[in-house]
Amino acid sequence: MARNVSSQRKIVNTVVAWTIGILIFFPILWTFLTSFKTEAQAIASPPSLLFFDWTFENYFEVQARSDYFKHFMNSVAISFGSTLLGLIIAIPAAWAMAFAPTPKTKDVLMWMLSTKMMPPVGVLVPMYLLFRNTGLLDTRIGLVMILTLINLPIIVWMLYTYFKEIPGEILEAARMDGASLAKEIIYVLTPMAVPGIASTLLLNIILAWNEAFWTLNLTASKAAPLTAFIASYSSPEGLFYAKLSAASTMAIAPILILGWFSQKQLVRGLTFGAVK
């Protein structure tokens, strides 16, 4: 049954919703606008919102000073690589927890999640030394490994939730039909869980793309992704607001576009099974 909402109430709700939306979006808009200002205009007080001399100079300068494309490719390799590796590990793990649970399964899930509760800086020194001693510092492989590990609990949890929605009888039917465990997962479970796997994939790419702690601490130049590219413009003197904004805009643009085109899939995946 539809609720009766008066038109006055509707107007108030709309205004409130737009206000909150604009407030949340404002920092991104501000960064975007600042990237087209000169450095002097960027720190001018009072700041001007739209009425300044629009310039693309910052973008050219940023590209000239540090190779955007190299960092972009590092980000792609690290976020997609860690997500795919994570899925390869997490799909069988989530299968086991969803379809062959033991009395301890819930504890294992909680334990996995608990690793996310520790601040990463707590293990920075041992991780750094491990990376240094194994020659993984400033390598894409090293970053793929660490990002896989830190995001694995989230991937397993999400997949576990989706797999729980799939009736076990269908997997049993596959087993009766002669499918081995691997074939059961490849031909039956995975195709049925595609919406869930897709949203896990998207969310994890976004998380890995934006991850800044490990990517900043374990890279220098060779494997540095876009997070390091932005950070290189944030100097303590604070004289490069416009360039910093240009770098930030360039760094978030790809993931924003990816998120924009897949938002339907994302929302569907995140609310999957919430309403039946």
Partner 1 sequence: MGSIALRNVSKVFGAHTVIPAIDLDISDGEFVVFVGPSGCGKSTLLRLIAGLEDVSGGKILIDGKDATELAPAKRRLSMVFQSYALYPHMSVRSNIAFPLKMAGEDQASIDRKVADAARVLNLTDYLDRKPRQLSGGQRQRVAIGRAIVRQPVAFLFDEPLSNLDAALRVNMRLEISQLHQQLKTTMVYVTHDQVEAMTMADKIVVLNKGNVEQVGTPLELYRRPDNLFVAGFIGSPKMNFITGEIARGHGAHTIGVRPEHIDLSTSAGAWRGTVGVAEHLGSDTFLHVAVDGVGTLTARVGGDFPVRHGDQVYLSPQEGRVHRFNDEGSAIR
Nearer of residues 124 and 192 to partner 1, judged by Cβ: 192
Q: Between 179 and 207, whose beta carbon lies closer to partner 1? A: 179
Give min distance, CB of 194 to partner 1, in A.
8
Is the CB of residue 56 less than 8 Å from the CB of residue 36?
yes
One-letter amino acid identity for 91? I
Cβ-based nearer residue to partner 1, 103 or 126: 103
Interface with partner 1 (CB under 8 A): 167, 169-170, 172-180, 183, 187-188, 191-192, 194
Q: How far is the CB of 119 from partner 1 (least distance, A)?
A: 41
User: For partner 1, which is the closer residue by CB, 58 or 200?
Assistant: 200
Q: Cα separation of 4 and 10, whole Å?
A: 10
In whole angstroms, the minimum distance from the beta carbon of 174 to partner 1 comes to 7
CB of 205 to partner 1, least distance (A): 24
Task: Quickly list DSSP for 188-211.
Answer: IIHHHTHHHHHHHHHHHHHHHHH-
Q: Tokens 């006055």 — which residue? A: 8
CB of 124 to partner 1, least distance (A): 44
Residue with smaller CB distance to partner 1, 173 or 212:
173
Assigned token pair, 69: 């494309």
Burial 87-113 (b: 16+ CB within 10 A, else e): beebbebbbbbbbeeeeeeeeebeebe
Give the chain's largest Cα–Cα span: 73
